């Protein structure tokens, strides 16, 4: 919106008329005259005058200083009247009175004189000063103006009472000047001038108050002499004067009281035609003062009430009928002035309301100004020349306010001279006729508009702007009127006030015609033809006819109800070369509610690169007459450029109008626009930029109607309830225009690839193996594929983000450190051929891997004769679970093959890894090995895998055993070592995987003794068998033990039955026995018992010893029955 209130105001420069005199509207200040200051030649005087007169801020005393020359003359006072008995007042208020008291008669005159107390020429100067005072007195003869003397002194004064000379000389000076001692002042010139002037100023102000008080009393004293019959005017005048003097005294309360009295007295005056203007003028003045004072005293309600009563009182005092416009002007002035003081009060901090603010008064003032204009047009139309001699001579110098210049000072009682009266009225009418009413009205409307804007009344403001446009229209400024109207059209359109819109449209169309503005004329015509414009059928027909004429290059017929001379002028404009040229007008249709609506949609939200993009355009006409267009195009925008597609075009020869583009009333047509998207647009969004309809021929005059296609035109349909629009009936044989959802954007996506990607693999992958994945690419496209490449990547997994680190992918196992994604270039592929690619994946952790295979390639498409190089992409995702091939557990056994939880240092034990196959496919173990840690040693020198080349199916378990010893005891569990399996899938002999597991830990405790029994695997009955016990001392002490061999029923034996043993540190004692089995079967061996002698500090404890024996010595042995023949002795193992 370009329309601001600033330029609204500048558009309406306010000419003055009927203005209130400035002495009435300025705030009265006490007048103080300063004399004896030679400001031109004397620098000191200059600074003193500046100190008084400059910087009159609100905190200073409310006085007004006036510099008086040495021989200043005051207005002469009138002769004092002793009695009012024979006095008949000639008017209410003299024009010069207020000005006199404001600016000419000072309340106080201060005489400045340079005189020090110690001045050498004291006496001479004293006399000169006295004479100055005297001459001032003479000049002010007959006035009560207070006189003060100010001595300008060079030396700073001593404190009061100390300077005897000063006191004495001051008295002398007062005497010679006949001056009250309190009116003599000293102004030391030097420091603190400002402080002294402020103090002096306050003293002067006090004197002035005193003066005005006195003057008011003086006026009041006349009251007793007045009588109501002849002195009605004086009652008003005197109260008004008292009020004004009180105002000078800054006593607004008393002033208000007296003004009110003056006003009430004025209301008692009988109003007749002759004094009508005078009474109203003075009433206006008093009312103005009253309202202003009330606002000042923060009584806005009282002020508004006073003003209402005032208006009510004088609304019907029209006065002479021939001068009715004068009354309207007066009313307008009352309102506008009240608006001004209200506005001023608001600026002083008064809060205003939306329903009570100055705007209403300005508006009313404008209203009255309009009435004034109407009445002027009625009354003054016959007046053609100004009368001679001028009856209005001396209008500026009348003695009283509001009187007629041709009969000044005449009393209302006297009958007026009819001839003079007639000439006077004629003169006034002539003047009125030449007043620029429109500018006045526009000025007032401008003030009102800015107020209504401030108080949040946008609609009120709009109405006033329309009125303003109306005034511009009548002042023949059609351009401005048109600008204002077109701006307002927008707002009324938004809120769908069609009647108001139509009204403004008609007016604007008139403006456009008169201003010969082609663009506006076409736009407005199109809107006037629309369904929203509530115009009569004939009106629309006329507008349509004009539009057709215009497009054919002919000037349109004038709008009705336009003044004839303006129409003639406009005709010239239309036929002038400026308009007659070939033109193309672009019209933004989504700014107006025109007779043509359009919606457009993409048929799909996405289009593939090789697919035709389809745009459906729906156009509806609600023009009452058939509309023929010449061309329809659609522009499509993408982020970088826009392109235009012709949808429907008239055939090249001029005569054949395209029947497809002919629209009858309420006809809806559907057009389809198809095009292939640009390859560069892939992945981008394209947008319907605009729909362009060409009205008229492109070679001649043509209006280009531009739609956005979104259907956002402020149409008649209420879009607030879209779900309810289905209930709206629409004719069956046409597309349902209201139901169409505009789709303005669509995305261009890459074309669907016809490449077939097959992934072959034998799931699941096993942990740690290089898992082969085979990709078969088959070209099902109709053309050759070139520059094909595969990107293989691992999709990140939300549950396990570090899975990527535990996965390797490579093309061949030899160079397996490749960062992802793996890129495999494939090359070209002819149609219907296939190609295989292999790659490997290795998982170091179980879990599912999602592998994405993205194949990108170029497809040379010779589609539609175009050599189109289409880049295509095909994506496939494979999920590969990684599982464990084996469960490997290891268990520990004693040499007796009993499971053990702990082992003893230097005692051999057995480790048995159990390899259980959990893979769904059979696995072959190529080799297995155990790598023992430092503390563990193998008992056998040579270790061979017992699982080598064993094939395990799912669920089968292979076990091998290793005999090891720990070399020393340890507090911590001892790590046994690492078990490594080399395995492969049964069907892939070449891919051997090596998996290692850490064997469990074992606790190793210390054992002080180690006992080993050498016993044959079995014996024979009655055949001796040799048995030996090796007792090894692992301690560093000498061990004293007592050995007992318990007797057994099953054996006889030879050897020590009881023995004191003594074993040296780190040495072995061997005891040999010869057993002679008596019974066969699994028989208990004679038990060996070791006891220690009772010594406390012994490193070996008895329970420990017993446990050792139980653990180390077999308890039973198999004894075979005696076979036939001779028994053979069993060799004793050494």
Partner 1 sequence: MAVCVAVIGKDNSPKFISCLNPELELQFHYKVHTSLDVVEEKLSSAGINTGDVRELYLGLLYSTEEHKIFGYVTNTKIKFIVVVESANTLLRDNEVRTMFRRLHNLYTDVVCNPFYIPGDPITSKNFDDTVKSIMVNNI
Place of tokens 């005058």: 49
Taking alpha carbons only, the member of 882, 885, 808 closest to residue 847 is 882
**Shortest Å distance, C-beta 498 to partner 1:** 8
Judged by beta carbon, residue 33 or residue 711, the one nearer partner 1 is 711
Q: Is 463 in the site for partner 1 (CB under 8 A)?
A: yes
Judged by beta carbon, residue 459 or residue 665, the one nearer partner 1 is 459
**Shortest Å distance, C-beta 712 to partner 1:** 15
Judged by beta carbon, residue 210 or residue 503, the one nearer partner 1 is 503
Q: Which range binds partner 1 by CB under 8 A, 618-626, 628-636, 722-730, 758-766?
A: 722-730
Q: Is 724 in the site for partner 1 (CB under 8 A)?
A: yes
Count of chain residues binding partner 1 (CB under 8 A): 23
Please report the sign of the dihedral spanned by the C-alpha atoms of residue 706, residue 711, residue 717, residue 720. negative
With CB under 8 A as the contact rule, the residue among 364, 403, 903, 919 that binds partner 1 is 364
User: Bridge partners of 1010?
Assistant: 1032
With CB under 8 A as the contact rule, the residue among 500, 794, 841, 1045 that binds partner 1 is 500
How many of the other CB atoms lie within 10 Å of CB of 476?
15
Show the binding pattern over residues 503-522: x = contacts partner 1 (CB under 8 A), - = does not.
x-------------------
**Shortest Å distance, C-beta 719 to partner 1:** 8
Q: Is 725 in the site for partner 1 (CB under 8 A)?
A: yes
- State the DSSP H helix or E strand holding residue 208, giving kind and residue range, or none if neither: helix 193-220
Q: Is 953 in the site for partner 1 (CB under 8 A)?
A: no
Parallel, antiparallel, or unpaired: how do β-strands 834-843 and 785-794 relate? unpaired
Angle 389-393-396 (CA atoms, 0-180°, nearest 5)? Answer: 170
Judged by beta carbon, residue 196 or residue 473, the one nearer partner 1 is 473
Structure tokens at 990: 């070449």
Within 13 Å, how many C-alpha atoms sit on residue 468's CB side? 34
**Shortest Å distance, C-beta 360 to partner 1:** 8
Show the binding pattern over residues 306-345: x = contacts partner 1 (CB under 8 A), - = does not.
----------------------------------------
Judged by beta carbon, residue 368 or residue 708, the one nearer partner 1 is 368
**Shortest Å distance, C-beta 36 to partner 1:** 59
Judged by beta carbon, residue 729 or residue 934, the one nearer partner 1 is 729
Q: In sequence order, what DSSP letters do the residues of 933-996 get, joined into one string?
A: -TTEEESSSS---SSTTEEE-TT-EEE--EEEEESS--SSPEE-EEEEEEEEETT-TT-EEEEE
With CB under 8 A as the contact rule, the residue among 181, 499, 833, 879 that binds partner 1 is 499
Q: Which range binds partner 1 by CB under 8 A, 559-567, 663-671, 718-726, 1096-1104?
A: 718-726
User: Bridge partners of 1043?
Assistant: 1059, 1090
Judged by beta carbon, residue 721 or residue 817, the one nearer partner 1 is 721
CB 1024 within 8 Å of CB 1052: no
Parallel, antiparallel, or unpaired: how do β-strands 662-663 and 977-985 relate? unpaired
Is 421 in a helix, a strand, or coil? Answer: helix
Structure tokens at 412: 């209302």
Torsion of CA 642, 645, 650, 653, to 10 degrees: 80
Judged by beta carbon, residue 728 or residue 823, the one nearer partner 1 is 728
Question: Does a cis peptide bond (omega within 30 degrees of 0) precede residue 764?
Answer: yes
Taking alpha carbons only, the member of 920, 847, 889 closest to residue 999 is 889
Judged by beta carbon, residue 484 or residue 585, the one nearer partner 1 is 484
Taking alpha carbons only, the member of 815, 848, 855, 805 closest to residue 834 is 855
**Shortest Å distance, C-beta 590 to partner 1:** 18
Q: Is 355 in the site for partner 1 (CB under 8 A)?
A: yes
**Shortest Å distance, C-beta 400 to partner 1:** 32
Largest CA distance in the chain: 194
Judged by beta carbon, residue 228 or residue 536, the one nearer partner 1 is 536
Q: For residue 157, what are the contacts with CB-CB under 8 A and spacing of at least 6?
A: 163, 166, 186, 188
With CB under 8 A as the contact rule, the residue among 118, 378, 718, 752 that binds partner 1 is 718
**Shortest Å distance, C-beta 356 to partner 1:** 9
**Shortest Å distance, C-beta 285 to partner 1:** 24
List the interface residues with partner 1, window 479-498 (CB under 8 A).
Answer: 495-498
Q: For residue 726, what are the contacts with CB-CB under 8 A and spacing of at least 6?
A: 739
Report the alpha-carbon distance of residue 403 to residue 412 in Å, rounded. 11
Judged by beta carbon, residue 484 or residue 518, the one nearer partner 1 is 484
Judged by beta carbon, residue 214 or residue 459, the one nearer partner 1 is 459
With CB under 8 A as the contact rule, the residue among 130, 457, 523, 600 that binds partner 1 is 457
**Shortest Å distance, C-beta 562 to partner 1:** 19
Q: For residue 874, what are the contacts with CB-CB under 8 A and spacing of at least 6?
A: 753, 755, 757, 854, 855, 856
**Shortest Å distance, C-beta 357 to partner 1:** 11
Report the alpha-carbon distance of residue 248 to residue 394 in Å, rounded. 30
CA-based end-to-end distance of the chain: 120
Q: Which range binds partner 1 by CB under 8 A, 103-111, 135-143, 723-731, 790-798?
A: 723-731
**Shortest Å distance, C-beta 722 to partner 1:** 10
List the interface residues with partner 1, window 1063-1122 (CB under 8 A).
Answer: none
With CB under 8 A as the contact rule, the residue among 458, 801, 865, 1125 that binds partner 1 is 458
**Shortest Å distance, C-beta 534 to partner 1:** 10
With CB under 8 A as the contact rule, the residue among 27, 199, 321, 459 that binds partner 1 is 459
**Shortest Å distance, C-beta 463 to partner 1:** 5
Q: Which range binds partner 1 by CB under 8 A, 77-85, 454-462, 606-614, 845-853?
A: 454-462
CB 422 within 8 Å of CB 104: no
Burial readout 634-646 (b: 16 or more C-beta within 10 A, e: otherwise):
bbbbbeeeeeeee
With CB under 8 A as the contact rule, the residue among 1, 43, 721, 1131 that binds partner 1 is 721
User: What are 557-563's contacts with CB under 8 Å, separation 24+?
Assistant: 558/513, 559/506, 559/509, 559/510, 559/513, 561/510, 562/510, 562/513, 562/514
Judged by beta carbon, residue 506 or residue 767, the one nearer partner 1 is 506
Report the alpha-carbon distance of residue 654 to residue 522 in Å, rounded. 23
Judged by beta carbon, residue 527 or residue 960, the one nearer partner 1 is 527
Report the alpha-carbon distance of residue 926 to residue 991 in Å, rounded. 11
Structure tokens at 657: 């109008």
List the interface residues with partner 1, window 156-215 (CB under 8 A).
Answer: none
**Shortest Å distance, C-beta 220 to partner 1:** 39
Judged by beta carbon, residue 355 or residue 1128, the one nearer partner 1 is 355
**Shortest Å distance, C-beta 323 to partner 1:** 22
Parallel, antiparallel, or unpaired: how do β-strands 108-114 and 146-153 relate? parallel
**Shortest Å distance, C-beta 728 to partner 1:** 6
**Shortest Å distance, C-beta 305 to partner 1:** 15
Judged by beta carbon, residue 449 or residue 1085, the one nearer partner 1 is 449
Alpha helices by DSSP H, listed for 269-323, are 276-296, 300-314
What are the residues binding partner 1 (CB under 8 A)?
A: 354-355, 364, 456-460, 463, 495-500, 503, 718, 720-721, 724-725, 727-728
């Amino acid at each position: 919106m370009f329309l601001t209130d600033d330029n609204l105001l500048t558009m309406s420069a306010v000419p003055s008329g009927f203005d209130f005199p400035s002495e009435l509207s300025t705030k009265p200040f006490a007048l103080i005259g300063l004399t004896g200051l030679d400001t031109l030649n004397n620098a000191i005087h200059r600074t003193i005058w500046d100190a008084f007169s400059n910087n009159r801020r609100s905190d200073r005393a409310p006085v007004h200083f006036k510099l008086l020359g040495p021989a200043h003359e005051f207005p002469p006072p009138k002769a004092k009247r002793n009695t009012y008995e024979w006095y008949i007042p000639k008017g209410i208020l003299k024009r010069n009175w207020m000005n006199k008291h404001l600016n000419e008669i000072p309340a106080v005159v201060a005489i400045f004189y340079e005189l020090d107390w110690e001045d050498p020429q004291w006496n001479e100067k004293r006399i000169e000063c006295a004479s100055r005072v005297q001459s001032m007195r003479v000049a002010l003869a007959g006035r009560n103006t207070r006189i003060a003397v100010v001595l300008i002194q060079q030396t700073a004064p001593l404190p009061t009472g100390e300077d005897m000379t000063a006191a004495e000389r001051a008295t002398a000076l007062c005497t010679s000047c006949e001056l009250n001692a309190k009116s003599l002042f000293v102004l030391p010139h030097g420091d603190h001038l400002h402080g002294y002037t402020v103090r002096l100023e306050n003293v002067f102000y006090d004197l002035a108050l005193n003066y005005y008080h006195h003057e008011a009393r003086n006026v009041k004293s006349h009251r007793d002499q007045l009588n109501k019959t002849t002195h009605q005017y004086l009652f008003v005048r005197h109260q008004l004067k008292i009020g004004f003097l009180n105002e000078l005294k800054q006593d607004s309360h008393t002033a208000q009281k007296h003004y009110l009295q003056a006003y009430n007295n004025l209301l008692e005056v009988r109003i007749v035609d002759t004094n009508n203007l005078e009474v109203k003028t003075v009433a206006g003045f008093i009312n103005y003062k009253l309202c202003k004072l009330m606002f000042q005293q923060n009584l806005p309600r009282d002020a508004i009430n006073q003003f209402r009563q005032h208006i009510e009182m004088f609304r019907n005092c029209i006065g002479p009928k021939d001068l009715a416009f004068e009354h309207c002007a007066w009313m307008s002035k009352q309102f506008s002035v009240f608006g001004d003081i209200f506005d001023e009060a608001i600026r002083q901090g008064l809060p205003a309301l939306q329903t009570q603010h100055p705007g209403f008064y300005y508006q009313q003032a404008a209203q009255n100004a309009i009435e004034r204009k109407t009445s002027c047009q009625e009354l003054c139309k016959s007046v053609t020349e100004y009368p001679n001699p001028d009856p209005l001579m001396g209008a500026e110098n009348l003695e009283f306010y509001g009187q007629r210049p041709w009969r000044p000072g005449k009393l209302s009682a006297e009958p007026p001279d009819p001839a003079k009266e007639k000439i006077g009225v004629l003169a006034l009418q002539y003047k009125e006729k030449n007043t620029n009413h429109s500018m006045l009205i526009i000025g007032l409307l401008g003030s009102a508009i800015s107020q209504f804007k401030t108080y949040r009344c946008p609609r009120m403001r709009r109405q006033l702007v329309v009125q303003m446009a109306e005034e511009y229209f009548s002042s023949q400024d059609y351009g401005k009127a048109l600008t204002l109207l077109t701006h307002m059209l927008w707002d009324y359109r938004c809120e769908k006030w069609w009647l108001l819109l139509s009204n403004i449209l008609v007016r604007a169309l008139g403006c456009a015609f008169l201003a010969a503005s082609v663009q506006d004329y076409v736009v407005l015509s199109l809107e006037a033809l629309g369904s929203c414009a509530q115009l009569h059928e004939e009106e629309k027909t006329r507008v349509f006819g004009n539009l057709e004429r215009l497009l054919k290059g002919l000037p349109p017929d004038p709008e009705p109800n336009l003044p004839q001379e303006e129409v003639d002028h406009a005709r010239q404009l239309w036929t002038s070369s400026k308009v007659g040229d070939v033109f193309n007008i672009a019209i933004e249709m989504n700014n107006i509610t025109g007779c043509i609506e359009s919606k457009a949609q993409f048929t799909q939200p996405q289009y593939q690169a090789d697919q035709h993009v389809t745009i459906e355009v729906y156009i509806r006409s609600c023009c009452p007459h058939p509309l023929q267009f010449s061309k329809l195009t659609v522009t499509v925008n993408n982020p970088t450029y826009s392109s235009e597609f012709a949808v429907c075009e008239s055939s090249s020869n001029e005569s054949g109008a395209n029947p497809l583009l002919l629209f009858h009333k309420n006809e809806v047509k559907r057009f389809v626009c198809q095009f292939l998207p640009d390859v560069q647009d892939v992945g981008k969004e394209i947008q319907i930029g605009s729909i362009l309809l060409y009205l008229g021929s492109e070679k001649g005059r043509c209006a280009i109607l531009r739609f956005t296609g979104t259907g956002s035109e402020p149409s008649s349909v209420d879009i607030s309830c879209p779900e309810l629009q289905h209930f709206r009936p629409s004719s069956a044989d046409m597309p349902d225009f209201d139901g169409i959802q505009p789709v303005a954007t669509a995305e261009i996506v890459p074309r669907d690839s016809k490449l077939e990607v097959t992934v072959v693999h034998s799931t699941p992958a096993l942990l740690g193996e290089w898992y082969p994945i085979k990709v078969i690419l088959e070209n099902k496209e109709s053309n050759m594929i070139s520059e094909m490449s595969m990107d293989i990547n691992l999709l990140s997994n939300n549950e396990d983000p570090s899975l990527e680190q535990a996965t390797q992918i490579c093309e061949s196992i030899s160079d397996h450190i490749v960062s992802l994604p793996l890129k495999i270039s494939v090359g070209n592929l002819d149609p219907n051929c296939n190609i295989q690619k292999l790659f490997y994946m290795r998982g170091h952790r179980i879990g599912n891997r999602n592998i994405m295979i993205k194949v990108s390639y170029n497809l040379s498409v010779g589609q539609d004769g175009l050599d189109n190089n289409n880049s295509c992409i095909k994506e496939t995702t494979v999920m590969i679970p990684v599982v464990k091939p084996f469960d490997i557990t290891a268990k520990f056994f004693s040499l007796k093959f009993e499971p053990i939880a702990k082992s003893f240092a230097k005692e051999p034990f057995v480790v048995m890894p159990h390899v259980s196959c959990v893979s769904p496919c059979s696995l072959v173990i190529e080799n297995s090995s155990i790598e023992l840690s430092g503390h563990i040693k193998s008992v056998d020198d040579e270790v061979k895998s017992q699982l080598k080349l064993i094939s395990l199916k799912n669920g089968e378990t292979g076990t091998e055993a290793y005999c090891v010893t720990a070399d020393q005891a340890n507090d911590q569990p001892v790590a046994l070592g690492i078990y490594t399996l080399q395995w492969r899938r049964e069907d892939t002999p070449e891919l051997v995987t090596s998996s290692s597991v850490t064997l469990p830990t074992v606790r190793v405790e210390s054992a002080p003794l180690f006992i080993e029994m050498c016993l044959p695997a079995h014996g024979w009955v009655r055949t001796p068998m040799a048995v030996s016990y090796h007792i090894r001392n692992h301690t560093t002490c000498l061990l004293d033990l007592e050995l007992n061999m318990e007797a057994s029923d099953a054996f006889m034996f030879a050897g020590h039955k009881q023995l004191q043993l003594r074993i040296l540190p780190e040495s072995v004692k061997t005891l040999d026995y010869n057993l002679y089995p008596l019974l066969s079967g699994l028989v208990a061996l004679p038990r060996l018992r070791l006891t220690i002698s009772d010594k406390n500090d012994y490193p070996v404890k008895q329970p420990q010893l017993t446990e050792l024996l139980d653990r180390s010595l077999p308890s039973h042995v198999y004894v075979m029955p005696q076979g036939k023949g001779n028994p053979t002795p069993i060799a004793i193992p050494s």
